[in-house]
Structure 1
Amino acid sequence: MRVNKVLLVNAGTDDHVSSIANDGTFPALGVVSLATVLMHDHPHLEVIAVDGQITPMPVVERLVRDFEPDVLGISVLGTSYRNTLRLAALGKDVGAVTILGNDQAAAMARQILRHREAVDYVCAADVGEFAFSAFISALNGDRPVESVPQLLYRTRDGIAHNALPELPSLLGGGALTTRVLDAVPVPDRSLMPASNWDQYLRNYVERYGSLHDGEITGVTTMNRARGCARVKSPCHFCGIADLTLRFSSPEVFWADVRAGREQVAASIFYEAFDSMSSSPRWVEQLVRAKPDDIGDPKFFVYTQAAETTPRLVELYRGLGVYRVNMGLESGDTRMLKLLKGPRDSLENNRRAATLLKEADILIYGSLVLGGPGETQESLANTVAFAEWLVDNGMMASIQAQPLYPDFGALTGRWLMNPDLARAAAKEKGFEILDEALLESMPDKYGHTDVVDFDEISMDWCRIFSRVGWSELLDATRVVRSYADAHGATSGSSRISEAVLNAG
């Protein structure tokens, strides 16, 4: 075949799923970055990128029918899987080759290909731009499909996985690689419809406009670094497939900022680096390289409480950080060490929050309820901590939800491997509360591609948490109601609206 038209869709959240606090306020950069690389490597292509998070599903479906793409690429999360399947089926109806990417696709690739005939390929690459471009070349007959990095697909012998490096070999790789992401071009944000950018701005101003004194002219996402210092021992609920630290140079970082200002008049930038606090040296390089004529861009970045020091906060201020996403997770030291690791504590959470407050940097924080060994006391400590954060004016927004055991995370692997869970319980000092249920988990969830968030979270709770599911939901509602009543935005992730609103 010869590929002439490609449609890239970030699938919107399924109707039944609760919204997170940031929904629809920052763009899905991935599909824009993919489109940019395709246009560079395959200039004959007609490429459209669209975000289903802010584009109604009927509009996206009409676009698929009217555009009739040769290739339909869908970026899918666990929260958008049902919408993804609808789009994939429609893509096959119009004759498209369908390919899925992003977190859900990478974690569930084999199950998806076994169960969904409407999905032809899955790309499991973390840096997917080069793999996707190679995929188009393979469809055009310019290279064998077996050479496309991190591609999964059906063969006569079963499901094949091209376990090849996803970054071009000339770039090197490995932890703390300084310029490896310079190979990812600055996104051409004009490849996404102007109506999408206008809607992001409206959503952001409506939800967070009060955080700013000056005019907000535009919002955008960028992703010039990836990974986390916890790469060898990640948080137990973290489902990110590759936490190896990788960076762009300061020059390319600021070129991306300049492009965002010129292309979509962005004054607010969400830098999606998994953990900005993991490399203060890189942050310092960015501050030193900040161009004099770049204006006053404001940044929203990820930080970790255990890594947030006075020096780092000073660098954040020099960079222009106005808000951080900080995974607080719990207000109980024992639970923090079980969920994250030995460096984490309530004292560190309070210290980091206070440092940020003193620097006038607000927090977008999340709380994970019902971790292994959660008790009434630890849950009460977390609710009290959330109220302390809100009372002290530290929170722009707060999320709370029962723990969801992502299959890409250690918690999900415990469910799928009971012996691993028992070994962890012995090592870390929590108990398996329902052995029979734990033994049934691999058969229940190991062969399906559709997982009910509420059901698997309830199963997790019965096996690992000493606090019941209904009490976790009550605590979720208490935290969210308190935040809403005191001027902070709230949200929940991976839980259905029906269950959340039932109380």
Structure 2
Amino acid sequence: MSLKLMLVNAPNPTENANASNYACYPHIGIVQLATAVRAAYGDQVTLRVVDGGISSTAHVQDAVRDFEPDLVGISALTPTYGEALRIAETAKRAGAQVVLGDDHPGFFPRLILENRPAVDCVIANDVGEVPFVEFVGALLKGEPLSAVSSLSYRDDNGSVIVNPSPTYALRQQNTIPDLEFIRPELPVYAENYRAQFGHLHDHVVTPITVNNARGCENGYKRCTYCSIADLRVNTGEPSGFWKAVDTYYRDFGVNLFFEVYDSFTASPRYVDALIEATPPHLRRLIDDGEIEVMVYARALGLTKRNNVDKCRRLGVTRVNIGLDAADPEMLEAQRKNKTTGETNLEAIRMLNKAGISVHASYIAGAPGERPETLDRTIDGIRQMLGEVELSSVEFSRFIPLPNSPAWDLLVDYRNPSFFKNSADIDAYLSGLNLTVGPGLRAELLERFGDQDLLDIEELAAAWAENFTHITEEHALERIAEVDQLVSAHNVRTGNNVG
């Protein structure tokens, strides 16, 4: 038996051209899945990869109809899930089976299968390549789906079955994505990146993302807005990182590597091992500025263990930091765990001194936000623009997403995942002078509970009205004010989807 498989990254519902990294990097996850399937089954599977990050939903739907796949795998986040459903319906009409993966389907596998007949299966695992390869193998061999890890599906009676979801170590399984699957599209990402950030480099840049490590040192008490599925530190072999860098540079001309590790400072031993494992020929290219690296990092982590110098030695030329606020109350409300405004400024000063540029992101409308706390954050941004150099500043409104502490506050009050219990939530909100009574709790649960498809605009409005002391309109006005302030300093602005 053979199989025609299309792997899709669902597009944003609207072109989010104001996002600071809009369409600058390919969705590497679906390329990794394609690579793993090809390695396991060779010519038994005909593969096509379509990244909605540089395509409209209509284009993806046309690609599905033209390719006539047997199976369509769709990667979806909460903001892109609605577009994923549109693609799933097109695929189902074309006679394909449909499997969803990535964060949002992983949050609601049972609910999706109960509500969406166009979806046949959901894979819920942060390391999805292992169960996905198992799933494709079961289809090729006609084997029962009960043996596929992390898979949710309907049995012959229509009942939803949820298979166990084990934890996979990246050291044991972390396929290097084969960029040959997207070679024709690489110049598109490169041009998008150069249009936004080309001025930060003195040579032509071709970017790619690498994901050889996952997790965050703040995972035990995640930030209020964080909805990442799994924040446990999970690192691959350092040799795997350098093999990807070497292969992509040599075979595809890639010279900027964005390691999207949730926090690069989460595992000091891994960072030290990367430095020790740097091949001499790549060290020379890094020292000559021919290869550059970007990372995510926490400000507090950067101020410790000589981490800024370690970043410099690894070729890091740009760091993305979630500074979130300059007001101490809002930093505490966002569970930033001992991070202060002074910590944020110290980290950026250290990076600037090392010649590393900074992308800084802030949030308006954190739990308990008041006009005066937002004023203090904006004053902090103004101070930072006057004292240090930033490559870009992203100022976004707060949006509560599933699998975050904010979702506990908004929806999962009776059964929270990140607070101890309902009393713990009440105490947290009381400290912010917020009270959510039983009637409102029931209303919020009815509006957003047991819903697999969520309206981002409705979520943002409900959050601002009930969990802050400002209006959504006020937050948006202040964000626009900061965008003008930042632009006046010739710094790139942007905001997240939504």
User: TM tier, shorter chain?
Assistant: over 0.9
Kindly state the Cα deviation for residue 19 of structure 1 after the two structures are TM-superposed: 4.2
- Aligned partner of 1:128 in structure 2 is 128
The answer for the alignment partner of 2:460 in structure 1 is 457
CA distance in 1, matches of 2:17, 2:457: 11
Conservation of the 8 A alpha-carbon contact between 2:3 and 2:140: no
Q: Which residue of 2 aligns with 1:444?
A: 447
Among candidates 301, 313, 319, match of residue 318 of structure 1 = 313
- Give a deviation string over 1:152-186, Cα, whole Å, max 9, x none: 1223363221123153xxxxx5xxxxxx3352221
Q: Which residue of 2 aligns with 1:271?
A: 259
Q: Say whether residues 1:13 and 2:1 are aligned partners.
A: no
Q: Do the aligned residues in 1 keep the contact of 2:401 with 2:407 (CA within 8 Å)? A: yes
Shift >6 Å, 4+ stretches = none
Structure-1 residue corresponding to 2:375: 380
Partner AA of 2:263 in structure 1: S
Which letter does structure 1 place at the counterpart of 2:65? R
Q: Which residue of 1 aligns with 2:411?
A: 416
- 1:93/1:202 Cα in 2 relative to 1: closer, same or farther (>3 Å)? same
Alpha-carbon spacing, 1:182–1:388, altered in 2? closer, same or farther (3 Å): farther
Q: Which moved more, 1:368-377 or 1:11-20?
A: 11-20
Residue 359 (structure 1) aligned with residue 354 (structure 2) = yes
CA contact (8 A) 2:385 2:489 kept: yes
- Cα distance between partner residues in 1 of 2:411 and 2:204: 50
Give the deviation of 1:55 after TM superposition.
2.6
Query: How far apart are the structure 2 equivalents of 1:388 and 1:154?
Result: 56
Match for residue 301 of structure 1? Answer: 295
Q: What are the superposed Cα offsets for residues 302-338 of structure 1, whole Å, 9 maximum, x if unpaired?
A: 1001111261000000000011111111111111111
Aligned equivalent of 2:176: 186
The answer for the alignment partner of 2:230 in structure 1 is 242
Amino acid at match of 2:235: F
Change (3 A) 1:137 1:100: same
Report deviation, 1:262. Answer: 2.4
Contact 1:186 1:259 survives alignment (8 Å): no
AA matched with 2:241: F
Q: Distance in 2 between matches of 1:393 and 1:477?
A: 22
Verify the 8 A CA contact 2:16 2:22 in the aligned structure 1.
no
Q: Match of 1:66, as an amino acid?
A: D
Q: Is the 8 A contact 1:437 1:459 kept in 2?
A: no
Unaligned runs of 5+ in 1: 168-172, 174-179, 496-503
**Which runs of structure 2 are paired with 1:104-143 in the superposition (5 Å)?**
104-141=104-141, 143=143
AA partner of residue 208 (structure 1): F
Partner of 2:277: 289
Decide which of 196, 201, 205 is 2:194's aligned counterpart.
Answer: 205
CA RMSD of aligned residues (A): 1.8
Q: Give the structure 2 partner of residue 86 of structure 1.
A: 86
CA distance in 2, matches of 1:55, 1:342: 39
User: Which residue in 2 is equivalent to 1:170?
Assistant: none
What one-letter code is carried by the residue in structure 2 that aligns with 1:11?
Answer: A
User: Do the aligned residues in 2 keep the contact of 1:422 with 1:432 (CA within 8 Å)?
Assistant: no
Change (3 A) 1:164 1:220: same
Whole-angstrom CA distance in 1 between matches of 2:263 and 2:31: 22
Q: Name the stretch that deviates more: 418-427 or 19-28.
A: 418-427
**Whole-Å separation in 2 of the counterparts to 1:308 and 1:406:** 27
Bigger drift between 77-86 and 239-248 goes to 77-86
Aligned partner of residue 278 in structure 1, secondary structure = coil
Q: What is the percent sequence identity of the aligned residues?
A: 30
Q: TM-score, normalised by structure 2?
A: 0.92
Q: Deviations over 1:391-414 (max 9, x none)?
A: 334321222222111111011122
Range moving further from structure 2, 73-82 or 383-392: 383-392
Indicate if the aligned counterparts of 1:101 and 1:122 stay in contact, CA closer than 8 A: yes
Deviations 1:201-231 (A, max 9, x none): 1011111010011232x21111000111122
1:468 aligns with 2:456: no
Superimposed CA distance per residue, residues 95-134 of structure 1 (whole angstroms, 9 cap, x where no aligned partner) = 1110111111112323322221111111111000011000
Segment drifting more, 410-419 vs 222-231: 410-419
TM-score (norm 1): 0.91
